[in-house]
Chain A
Amino acid sequence: MSLLDIKNLKTYFHTRAGTTRAVDDISFSINKGEIVGVVGESGSGKSVTCHTLLGLLPQPPAQVEGGSVTFDGNELLDLSPTLLRAIRGKRISMIFQDPMSCLNPYLTILDQVAEPILTHEDVSKDEAEGRAIEMMKKVGIRDAEKRAHSYPHEFSGGMRQRAMIAMALVTNPDLILADEPTTALDVTVQARILRVLRDLRDDLGVGILFVSHDLGVISEVADRVVVMYKGKVVEQGSVESIFENPSHPYVKGLLACRPTFETKFRILPTVDDFLQTEENPDGSLALYERPDADVRLAELRNQIDTGGEPQDSNQAESILEVKDLRVHFTSGGGLLSKPSDTVKAVDGVDLSISKGQTLGLVGESGCGKTTIGRAILRLVKLTDGSVVYGGTNLGDLPLAELLPYRKRMQIIFQDPYASLNPRLTIEQALIEPMKVHGLEANRSARRDKVVELLEEVGLSVDHLLRYPHEFSGGQRQRLCVARALAVEPEFVVCDECVSAMDVSVQAQVLNLLRELQEKRNLTYLFISHDLSVVKFMSNEIAVMKQGRIEEFGTANDIYENPQSDYTRELLEAVPRADF
């Protein structure tokens, strides 16, 4: 008998704007000692499923409209609150996505990890705390006795997530619901946490429901996979069958549109190349395979990337030369005291990029890659070193003379929601840069240009008078690209600009960036923590660690022949299918 059996579950959200079918008739099950990966993009309903199982959704606006969830013979959806509470934390535990916001900042770690024991079992405080510390050691928190009395903000991200796992395990539950448990973590930390979860499955026979949007992670950790799209399960099966032999067009599209290390495509296939959606009269969606999917794939295969070899870079002129760049941040000073902390974000970096090429900058959080991007554009102050663009050292220029360079160098940021002034219409936002730099002769010429730009990034003239909050994340990022293009730059820094997106949207934006590069002969500095994406976009790559460059080489060399240990560690840690 399976541990958890979900049948025809429906959870709808009723708001003033209408009813959203977040989970629309899904069925699957989990057995003991099995990791089931639920994968989907935002809006697929995977998180809502998790929360519905434990009854954690606020009842208005959410409403379970039907179906059954059987846990070890009990119907969870019908349980009284008291009985449900007895199961939560004792037989079914949950691990959440962001351990910083999911741990109470006002209580110690020990207090919170021991709490489930004290709530569900009749033991003394000392015994509960003892068991809590044992569990913390088991999940890899060193010096657990001492560190247990710290507060969440004193732990690193990885440690916090381990504390959450300890908290979930401490009552020996039968089932763990893990909602994007590694999404907020660096890739090396993620690899360790995944190992902890696999060990739990092997040693304790715990069943795990692992929810993620990251196909790579799912392929590495799950035994069986359930793929969700817009509230429905579109396909489920063993991890091998899903990844090697997908049958549903959405799954095929999802798998194809990720840039992996082996990808040879120059333009990525997108989900739309495989999937066609139509709305049924009753409001639900019907999903079809695109009849011309194969044709499209063949087309893309023919455009395989053969270029990007070093032969070009010697002939192309170098447009940007960075020498010994240092950016140090000081903090902790007040009116009367001297600054006490110095963070050496960038500590001696040399770079050069040739015109029309893409330099990828990759590393984990805190390595300084984002700071470099901003320092090059002089959005942060350089502590030392030189940034020479087109022959001029930008570091020395007084602010007033920087304006012409602001026209030639642009940046696209990570968060498309925060990158647009919410009070300006699209038209105003796109015209403003032209006004500031004196481009185009008059108002009407500027308007024409704006329309051109919108079409170039794949949006339409209908969007002119709208405000940013009326667009989706992918569309907003396109608007940011359009705004950057409004000043006709030569050089663009892409600062984690696809990191906050679903994989299918990411593919579209990456394709757009590629197209624009070819059309306008743009030079990119592409910054990301995602090694696969960086490999796809770049000709040459620099790997960064703690403010310095660990290794530099062409994209292929870095991946096939990593020289430094750190690069090897990073590559090892990237989750991928290993059947």
Chain B
Amino acid sequence: MNAANNSLAHGKPGNSLWSDAYLRLRKNRLALASFWFVMLMLALCFVAAWFCPNPDKIDLENKFAGSSVSHLLGTDQLGRDIFARTLFGGQISLLVGFVATTLAIGIGVVIGAASGYAGGRTDAVLMRGVDTLFAIPFLVVVIVLQVVIAEWTKDASGWVVDSWGWDKKLTSRIANIIPLFIALGLFGWLTLARIVRAQVLSLKEQEFVEAAKALGYSRFRILFRHIIPNTLGPTVVYATLTVPGFIMYEATQSYLGLGVEAPNSSWGILIRDGANFLETEPQLLIIPGLFFSLTLLALNFLGDGLRDALDVKAAKD
């Protein structure tokens, strides 16, 4: 009943659901290995890449070289270092995957939570909109949208170069990727909005939300302190599974020549170029192909592992 009581005897801290989930995840060796693989890939592409030879340097005398000390995985048809090109290509592919996913998550969570929490007319209208957009062929619209945005970014980049004096080449390279982020992000949030909305709807009915209302908590407090934290599980899982999906889309678009363009490179472009030499110099396709597929595999296994770890049914006694 007095201060002495509370300072000493707090008792052992309990295990939150997050820490329970984390422990379960750690026991899943496949998911753990996948996590470290993804970290490795990020480190390679964004850090180690800068220590590699210049990926654009053409050296026609040295085409199709085998691996050596200066060219770890050999060279391609123009004598460029394959390892460096793969890592730099990875930068673009991974960037598109993660940035577009972040954008999609941002939009999806806000719309899904708002729609689910508001209910009624707002919810009905928003969800009809989502259903309609859902039935539209994703890649078709993304491609067309991206072409349009590319025009705008080209103009914008010209303006930026003129007004702010940025380096022309770098700006145009950035201008080339931004449309992909935006197009994928603008269309890729639909499923997440549905997932978050479904979660919010079921949480709204739970007694602890009613108890919060009965205790006089504001709608704001209830939404941000009680509801959204309980939707993070499926959101995290879905985000982890969206990244590989977007990387695949980017690769598809780039393969068709409708995505990333030279001088930017991505795994998709490398694979396309490598396919031309499949019979004679298969490593040109296989190396970027392996990097690409293994990264996607790791992200998918990680997402599956997260889904199993966060399965609330298992968490409830």
Which residues of B1-37 have CB atoms within 8 Å of chain A's CB atoms? 1-3, 5-6, 9-18
Asked if A448 meets B124 with Cβ closer than 8 Å, knowing A411-B211, A419-B211, A436-B216, the reply is no
A415 nearest CB neighbor, chain B only = B207
Per the bound structure, the CA–CA distance linking A432 and B229 in Å amounts to 16
Which residues on the A side are within 8 Å of B6 (C-beta)? 444, 447-448, 451, 461
**Residues in A neighbouring B125, C-beta threshold 8 A:** 335
Residue from A410, A422, A466 within 8 A of B17 (CB atoms)? A422
Binds B, one of A88-96, A300-308, A401-409: A401-409
Minimal Cβ-Cβ distance residue in B for A406: B216
A534 touches B (CB below 8 Å): no
- Whether the Cβ atoms of A466 and B207 lie closer than 8 Å is no
- Are A469 and B211 closer than 8 Å at their CB atoms? no
Contact A410:B11 (CB < 8 A) given known A335-B128, A448-B5: no
Q: State the CA gap A422–B207 with chains docked (Å).
A: 12
CB contact under 8 A between A423 and B229, given known A436-B217, A448-B5, A467-B16: yes
Evaluate contact between A469 and B17: CB separation under 8 angstroms.
Answer: yes
B211 touches A480 (CB 8 A): yes
User: Given that A377-B214, A448-B1 are contacting pairs, would A418 and B208 also be in contact in the complex, using a CB cutoff of 8 Å?
Assistant: yes
For B226, give the chain A residue with the smallest CB separation: A421
- Asked if A465 and B215 sit within 8 Å, CB to CB, the answer is no
Docked CA distance A285–B217 (Å): 46
Interface of B (DSSP majority class): helix
Tell me which residues across on chain A come within 8 A of B1, comparing CB atoms: 448, 451-452
Question: Once the chains are docked, how many angstroms separate the CA of A464 from the CA of B5?
Answer: 12
Q: Is B208 touching A379 in the complex (CB atoms < 8 A)?
A: no
A contact residues around B281 at 8 Å (CB): none
Contact between chains at A487 and B215 (CB < 8 Å): yes
Q: B3 — which chain A residues lie within 8 A by C-beta?
A: 444, 448
User: Across the interface, do B5 and A421 meet the contact criterion of CB distance under 8 Å?
Assistant: no
Given known contacts A444-B6, A467-B14, A467-B15, is B215 in contact with A419 (CB within 8 Å)?
A: no
Report whether B229 and A406 are in contact in the complex, using a CB–CB cutoff of 8 Å. no
Residues of B within 8 A of A153 (CB): none
Contact of B276 with A by CB under 8 A: no
Closest B residue to A405 using CB positions: B216
**Residues on the A chain within 8 Å of B221, using CB:** 436
Instruction: Indicate if the CB atoms of B2 and A419 lie closer than 8 Å.
Output: no
B17, A465: Cβ atoms under 8 Å? no
Nearest Cβ on chain B to A327's Cβ, whole angstroms: 15
A469 with B315: CB separation less than 8 A: yes
Chain A residues contacting B207 (CB-CB under 8 Å) are 413-415, 418-419
B216→A461 contact, CB < 8 A? no
Q: How far is the CA of A487 from the CA of B211 in the complex (A)?
A: 13
* Bound complex: CA A334 to CA B124 (Å): 8
* Pair A407/B216 contact, Cβ less than 8 Å: yes
Query: Digit string of A458-499 for contact with B (CB within 8 Å is 1, else 0)?
Result: 001111111101100000000010010001000000000000
Does chain B have a CB within 8 A of A433? Answer: yes
Q: Are B208 and A465 in contact (CB under 8 A)?
A: no
Q: Is A425 in contact with chain B by the CB < 8 A criterion?
A: yes
Q: How many A-B residue pairs have CB under 8 A?
A: 111
Query: Given known contacts A406-B214, A407-B216, is B316 in contact with A417 (CB within 8 Å)?
Result: yes
A437 adjacent to chain B (CB < 8 Å): yes
Say if the beta carbon of A420 comes within 8 Å of chain B: yes
User: A477 → chain B, closest Cβ, in Å?
Assistant: 11
Which residue of chain B has the shortest Cβ distance to A470 in the bound complex?
Answer: B14
List CB contacts (< 8 Å) of A273-299 with chain B: none
Q: How many B residues touch A, CB cutoff 8 Å?
A: 39
Give the nearest-CB partner of A423 in chain B.
Answer: B229
Q: Which residues of B contact A421 (CB under 8 A)?
A: 208, 212, 226, 230
A437–B216 Cα gap in the complex (Å)?
8
Q: Does B168 contact A (CB under 8 A)?
A: no
Chain A residues near B230 (CB-CB < 8 A)? 421-423
In the bound complex, how far is the Cα of B206 from the Cα of A461, in angstroms?
Answer: 27
Min CB distance B288 to A, Å, is 41
When distances are taken between beta carbons in the complex, the residues of chain A under 8 Å from B217 are: 432, 436
Given contacts A417-B316, A467-B16, contact A410 B215 (CB under 8 A): yes
Kindly identify which residue among B2, B208, B211, B226 contacts A448, using a CB–CB cutoff of 8 Å: B2
Query: Within 8 Å of chain A (Cβ to Cβ): is B311?
Result: no
Asked whether B11 lies within 8 Å of A461 as measured between CB atoms, the reply is yes
Provide the residues of chain A in CB contact with B279, threshold 8 Å: none
Identify which of B2, B206, B212 gathers the most chain A CB atoms within 10 Å of its CB.
B206
Known A451-B6, A461-B11, A470-B14; judge A410-B214 contact (CB<8 A). yes
Q: Shortest beta-carbon distance, B11 to chain A, in Å?
A: 3
B61 at interface by CB-CB < 8 Å: no
| B124 lies within 8 A of A419 (CB) | no
Q: With A444-B6, A451-B6, A465-B11 as given contacts, are A402 and B216 in contact (CB-CB < 8 Å)?
A: yes
Which residues of chain B have C-beta atoms less than 8 A from A335's C-beta?
121, 124-125, 128
Is B162 located at the chain interface by the 8 A CB criterion?
no
CB <8 Å contact, A425 and B14: yes
Q: Is the CB of A406 within 8 A of B11?
A: no
Top 6 A-B pairs ranked by shortest CB distance? A406-B216, A466-B14, A462-B11, A419-B207, A465-B13, A413-B207
16 residue pairs from A and B, CB less than 8 Å apart: A420-B208, A421-B230, A423-B17, A423-B18, A448-B5, A448-B6, A451-B6, A461-B5, A463-B11, A464-B10, A465-B12, A466-B14, A469-B17, A470-B14, A483-B211, A487-B216
- Given A422-B315, A483-B215, 16 further pairs, Cβ under 8 A: A335-B121, A374-B210, A406-B214, A419-B211, A425-B14, A425-B16, A433-B215, A436-B217, A448-B3, A448-B6, A461-B11, A462-B11, A465-B14, A466-B12, A469-B317, A480-B211
